[in-house]
Amino acid sequence: MGTTQLDSVPEPKYWHLKTVIGEALDTDFSVGEILPNERDLAARFGVARATLRQALEQLELEGRLQRRRGVGTTVAPPRVGVDVSTTRHRWPGAADDSWRPVDCGLPEVPAAVARLLDLDPAAGAPVHMVRRIRLTHGQPVAAEQLYVPASSVPALTAIDAPSGPTRARAVLRELQRLTLDGQDRAVELGSARAEDAKELDRLPGAPVLVVTTRYFSAGRTAALSLGTYRADTCRLTFGDAGDLQIAS
Amino acid sequence: MGTTQLDSVPEPKYWHLKTVIGEALDTDFSVGEILPNERDLAARFGVARATLRQALEQLELEGRLQRRRGVGTTVAPPRVGVDVSTTRHRWPGAADDSWRPVDCGLPEVPAAVARLLDLDPAAGAPVHMVRRIRLTHGQPVAAEQLYVPASSVPALTAIDAPSGPTRARAVLRELQRLTLDGQDRAVELGSARAEDAKELDRLPGAPVLVVTTRYFSAGRTAALSLGTYRADTCRLTFGDAGDLQIAS
DNA sequence: GAGTGGTCTAGACCACGGC
DNA sequence: CCGTGGTCTAGACCACTCT
């Protein structure tokens, strides 16, 4: 028989689908264009809807597609570069930095946060939590929880607004008065908590890049930031030489 | 009837499952311990296996679980911090840097790579591709493709081994002779190509953090690195954030 | 109300690892 | 060989958005 080479390791259907659809996106579709719905696509490729969805999920993970319930599946624009470099040593909230303060409160801090702030978990020292949203081209790309021990901003009076954006700005303003000795940063994959998902216009559990930043002042950790970036639409950039190239 | 509050927005089953299992991991299991198999777990929670798997997939994405076909599901150790800071301006391959050269060749470069290297796609100028694996605690955490235009390392003779680890080391050695003016870096989410997945001991399509680095010398891009890091086991650190822990 | 993607079910078979 | 996770099917219903 003239059968072709046996597939010693046959490729899964969804993997093949992903390749085929991915190539079609490059050639037959333009950014923003809407794809046929999942039932049609599945029928067209002769697979079950669940299998087709596996392929679409991967393409969405890679930022090639955007899916919205009740609307449809569209071709995603290229990911936007979001600068998260640590080379400029600045406190959060400095001289407008594309973040919009949303709220502020004095929550109980998770044990993991307390540990990173070098706080005694049992002591229950008060910690401000500033909540901010980062916008790029008018779209929300990140939600942040910034933990600031009250001891870092002692001059802050409780007389001002106890919560809300005004309070958030007050905390950030006080932070600028400290000397920033340094910062360090880590990036890892996570899934969006319900609260963050809402602000990012995603469903809970959506893949996100979690950026953890410690701000050091006077030999201690003066603030801790937990940034949640949309993994589908963002590319985090650390550019200490990004502009060398523009000359071309 | 004494029914409890209606769920105005009922929580999906898999989301609830994820929470329940996640808490169980903290209290009833220790690192490396093996969980009951998926069929048992699904029966125990009274859900279909597909629903249970959705919960496990999320926990794996968050680095809490590790699943291996033919073996089972185990509790994952905390993610390892992998330093990818750009503060030390060094070429890849300098004074051993936890990377192991694997191979080298002169492949056709993808159009996207050619563009980042400022090469004329039509010209077909030769480009070395060095392939390296990064090990941490003996485990592979990243696979890299380092593209070096032949024009960046003109002294490299073709007389040496034309491919293989020896050739890779020769290319890296030549790179050290150039002055490194700067570098920039970007991180985004991707899924593992079949080739990388194999080296990382994962299935194709596994979530990975793609780190793109440009190395500048003499006003041009002298090399381009595409690093593929296991997203389940790695936390990328910038600065001395090595001891930052997940705060989920 | 119509149409979309999101969730869920109850099965089946396959690929892989260890025994 | 058996048990594991990985793939796949053919349905069903739900939540959401737009008209």
pLDDT in tens, A236-248: 998 754 443 333 2
Question: Of B204, B221, B235, which is closest to A245 when you measure between CB atoms?
Answer: B221
pTM (predicted TM-score): 0.90
pLDDT in tens, B153-201: 888 776 666 778 888 999 999 999 999 988 889 999 999 999 999 999 9
CA distance to partner chain B, nearest, from residue A159 (Å): 31
Buried b (16+ CB within 10 A) or exposed e, A165-183: bebbbbbbebbeebebeeb
Q: How confident is the model at residue A32 (pLDDT cuts 50, 70, 90)?
A: very high
pLDDT in tens, A177-230: 999 988 889 999 999 999 999 999 999 999 999 999 999 998 899 999 999 999
CA at A66, C1' at C12: how many angstroms apart?
Answer: 32
The protein residue nearest nucleotide C7, judged by CA to C1', is: B12
Element of type H or E holding B139:
strand B139-149
Distances (CA, A) of A84 to A88, A221, A235, B119: 10, 19, 10, 28
Task: Using a 7 Å cut-off to protein CB atoms, list the covered nucleotides of chain D.
Answer: 3-12, 14-18
Burial, B146: exposed, middle or buried (Cβ in 10 Å; 0-12, 13-18, 19+)?
A: buried
pLDDT in tens, A9-20: 678 999 999 999
CA distance to partner chain A, nearest, from residue B223 (Å): 13
Q: What is the pLDDT of residue A247?
A: 30
Pick out residues whose CB falls under 7 Å from strand D.
Answer: A 12-15, 46-51, 54, 68-71; B 9-10, 35, 37-40, 49-50, 53, 67-73, 203, 205
Averaged pLDDT, A29-45: 97
The protein residue nearest nucleotide D6, judged by CA to C1', is: B69
A157 residue type, one letter: T
**In the predicted model, is pLDDT for residue B18 greater than 50?**
yes
Nearest C-alpha neighbor of A129 from the set A85, A82, A167: A167
CA distance to partner chain B, nearest, from residue A84 (Å): 9
Q: How confident is the model at residue B248 (pLDDT cuts 50, 70, 90)?
A: very low
**In the predicted model, is pLDDT for residue A29 greater than 60?**
yes
Q: What is the pLDDT of residue A137?
A: 86
pLDDT mean across residues, chain A: 87
> What domains does chain A contain, in order, with CATH numbers?
13-75 (1.10.10.10), 80-237 (3.40.1410.10)
